[in-house]
Amino acid sequence: MEFRMFDSTVAAGDVPDRHGPHIVFRRRLWNKEQHSMAQHHESSRRLFLKASAATAVATWLPASSYARIMGANDRLNMAVVGTGGMGTGHTNSLVGRRGEENLDVIQVCDVYRRRLNNAMNIIGHGDGCGTMRYEDVLDNRDVDAVVIATPDHWHTKIAIEAMESGKDVYCEKPLSLTIPQALECRDAVHRTGRVLQVGPQRTSMSAFWTARQAIEDGRIGKPVWSQSSYCRNSRGGQFNWGMDPGAGPGNDPKSEHYVDWDRWLGHEHGLAEEIEWNPDHFFRFRKYFAYNGGVATDLLYHKLAPFLLAISGPDGEYPRRVVASGGRYLEKDERDIPDSFMMMVDYPTEHTVVLVSVMTNDLGVPDIIRGQYGTMK
């Protein structure tokens, strides 16, 4: 897709001369139909370190780590906590950069032995490079930075403890399940002086930075309202991912089928309720509000974050009012998240963003930013 600016119909003399017509911002964005999942993991908007160490690392790492990246003898040592689909993708991407960037993945962590073993094989550091306890990663003084790719309900706790242990953090979105958790994480950043980066899609893509510059230059006038969507058509049911037969907490802890279910739930820390082993909850956690925020925090976050970057600037802004509706219209299995979700978000700077996410029809609405003098899409 591309961002293209069109004139709005306005009265003569309303638009200053500098607002020229039909200014085209041609920057291709990620298209899921044209890229494989492996390439998706490789795209720069998801990677902790981008292809250029000089530009990427400088944006989030302290000077000492930056110096190591740029050619000193020791490497930037990283660990990945949570080695499911996304965590494995990050691990593969980072390992693939060992030759071109001075970094390494020296430790991995997961509560499912099979996933842990797979990640250990990827990084190739022997039996001692894997653990089922994230605390072992935080206690490892050789680890400089941590990638958190666990289910969402664990994000904030691990991120805060990682920063308190002196490590920088890349955390998969969303940062938290609740606003208080997010504020606790913000306070930990200020308290520890560590760097925390959260991973929405597309905010590293130049199209939205180009759009931001155009808005700052007044090319479309004051932004009035915007729209976006993230829609799919999941014939088998959205998030009904495959489940490994035989996996569970009743297996020998050394078996690849073993799952530390109590640790995954986190009920001892108040992160979720204690329930009996449920493979649907474990392998398909995105179907349940106990562990994530549904399509709002899993999918629409990727749309809202770059829009706020373009419209409000890198610091974004908090909404003044949010209205949402939707429900489970077709996917009526055990899930409690909606398959259709719409929301309108009003901001103090007086613009509205409309977002749509439907999991039973993949025809969404195009990305459009509307201003008084022009429109970008």
Q: What is the pLDDT of residue 75?
A: 84
For residue 268, being part of any structural domain is answered with no
- Count of beta carbons in the 10 Å neighbourhood of residue 70: 13
For residue 301, being part of any structural domain is answered with yes
If asked whether residues 234 and 108 sit together in one domain, one would say: no
For residue 275, being part of any structural domain is answered with no
For residue 252, being part of any structural domain is answered with no
Q: What is the pLDDT of residue 235?
A: 82
If asked whether residues 56 and 82 sit together in one domain, one would say: yes
**Two tokens at 312?**
């409000």
C-beta separation of 215 from 223 below 8 A? yes
Q: Which residues pair with 172 in a beta bridge?
A: 199
User: Cα(225)–Cα(375) distance, rounded to whole angstroms?
Assistant: 10
pTM higher than 0.85, yes or no?
A: no
Measured at the alpha carbon of residue 186, what is the angle toward residues 289 and 83, in degrees to the nearest 5?
A: 50
Cα–Cα nearest to 155, from 303, 269, 307, 274: 269
If asked whether residues 105 and 222 sit together in one domain, one would say: no
If asked whether residues 103 and 185 sit together in one domain, one would say: yes
Question: How confident is the prediction along the chain (377 residues), in pLDDT tens digits per residue?
Answer: 455 665 544 333 333 333 332 333 322 222 333 333 333 333 333 333 333 232 233 333 443 444 444 454 578 999 999 999 999 999 999 999 998 899 999 999 999 999 999 999 999 999 889 999 999 999 999 999 999 999 999 999 999 999 999 999 999 999 999 999 999 999 999 999 999 999 888 898 999 999 999 999 999 999 999 999 999 998 889 999 999 999 999 999 999 999 999 999 999 999 999 999 999 999 999 999 999 999 999 999 999 999 999 999 998 899 999 999 999 999 999 999 999 999 999 999 999 999 999 999 999 999 999 999 999 99
If asked whether residues 79 and 190 sit together in one domain, one would say: yes
Q: What is the pLDDT of residue 112?
A: 99
What's the Cα-to-Cα distance from 81 to each of 111, 149, 165, 211, rounded to whole Å? 9, 6, 15, 35
What's the Cα-to-Cα distance from 276 to each of 192, 249, 280, rounded to whole Å? 37, 10, 12
If asked whether residues 221 and 166 sit together in one domain, one would say: no
Quote the number of domains for the chain: 2
- For residue 351, the SS3 value is strand
Locate tokens 């039996």: which residue? Answer: 127
What's the Cα-to-Cα distance from 193 to each of 76, 188, 211, 303, 340, rounded to whole Å? 18, 8, 31, 29, 40
If asked whether residues 134 and 210 sit together in one domain, one would say: no
Boundaries of domain holding 59: 37-199
CATH number at residue 110: 3.40.50.720
Q: What is the pLDDT of residue 281?
A: 99
Contacts of 329 (CB under 8 A, 6+ apart): 338, 339, 340, 360
CA 47 and chain centroid, separation: 10
CA atoms within 13 A on the CB side of 114: 15
